[in-house]
Structures are given as structure tokens and as C-alpha cells.
């Protein structure tokens, strides 16, 4: 009887095309992840900015009530922010190189005392300030 010496090849590995395809899919998923993180950071910065505006507004109202000020009375930023005052630190917009603009008087009910100067993101200022 004749013996056949031909052995079967092991085909359990991946071809170069399959490896390239897997890498391409992974790179696509990673790029989607980075886009999502950027959008999350933008939304987070917006939320923090609106929260800062709200906090300053509440500090202004507390200062107004504590010192019995009327709407339209003079109110400097230094009167509400600083060590031992309504706000310990002066808040700032979380996005780079953006600041807040403060009024010089106690605002009317529903009006903002502080606004964000972020020109690229106009949504940093709250849409509704009723009850502030």
C-alpha cells in the first residue's frame, strides 16, 4: 500500500486583507468615539457656563436681600465676589479665553447680571431667566 505524505496546511490564520479590514474598522470606531467626546465636552462647557451665570445671579439676589438694595441700585462685581463674600471666587467661562460681562447695577427680576462673552457659542447664555 502506498502512503500519502501530503499533510494538510493549517488555515487557522488571517490573511493580510482581513487584518487590514479589521484595523480599518477599529480606526473608524475610534474616530466616531473622538467626535462623540468632543460633542460631550462642548455640551459640558455650555452647561457649566449656564450654571456659573445662575450661581452669580443667585449671589446677586442674596446680596440684594441682605443689604436691602432696590433694583437699579449700584452693584460692583467686587461686592459679591471675593473672600468672605457671596462668591468666594470670580467664576469664568470654562472655554478658553472667554470672560463674563457684569452689569454695574442690581438687575430687574428676570434680567441677567452677568453674560458670557463667548462669541462662537451663543448658547452659553440661558434662554430663559424667569424667576431669577
Q: Tell me if 24 is assigned to some domain.
A: yes
What is the per-residue pLDDT for 8? 60
Q: Is position 45 within any domain?
A: yes
Residue pLDDT, tens place only, 25-76 = 999 999 999 999 988 988 898 899 999 999 999 999 999 999 999 999 999 9
Phi-psi region of 45 (alpha: psi -120 to 50; beta: other; left: phi over 0): alpha
To the nearest 10°, report the CA torsion of 97, 100, 104, 109.
Answer: 170
Total domains in the fold of the chain: 1
**CB contact burial 29-61 (16+ within 10 A = b; e otherwise):** eeeeeeeeeeeeeeeebbeebbebbeebbebbb
Q: What is the pTM of this model?
A: 0.73
In a domain, 86, yes or no: yes
Q: What is the pLDDT of residue 9?
A: 61
H or E stretch at 24: helix 16-66
Question: What pLDDT, on a 0 to 100 scale, did the predictor assign at position 32?
Answer: 92
In a domain, residue 25? The reply is yes
4 falls within a domain: no
| pLDDT for residue 68 | 93
Statement: residue 1 has pLDDT above 60? no
Question: 111 or 27: which carries more pLDDT confidence?
Answer: 27
Q: Is residue 106 part of a domain?
A: yes
Amino acid at each position: 500500500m502506498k502512503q500519502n505524505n501530503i499533510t494538510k496546511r493549517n488555515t487557522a490564520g488571517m490573511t493580510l486583507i482581513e487584518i487590514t479590514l479589521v484595523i480599518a474598522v477599529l480606526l473608524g470606531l475610534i474616530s466616531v468615539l473622538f467626535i462623540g467626546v468632543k460633542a460631550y465636552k462642548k455640551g459640558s462647557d455650555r452647561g457649566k457656563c449656564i450654571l456659573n451665570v445662575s450661581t452669580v445671579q443667585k449671589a446677586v439676589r442674596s446680596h440684594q436681600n441682605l443689604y436691602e438694595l432696590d433694583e437699579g441700585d449700584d452693584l460692583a462685581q467686587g461686592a459679591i465676589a471675593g473672600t468672605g463674600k457671596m462668591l468666594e471666587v470670580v467664576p469664568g467661562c470654562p472655554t478658553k479665553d472667554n470672560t463674563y460681562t457684569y452689569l454695574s447695577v442690581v438687575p430687574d427680576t428676570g434680567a441677567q447680571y452677568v453674560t458670557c462673552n463667548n462669541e462662537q457659542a451663543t448658547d452659553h447664555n440661558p434662554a430663559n431667566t424667569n424667576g431669577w
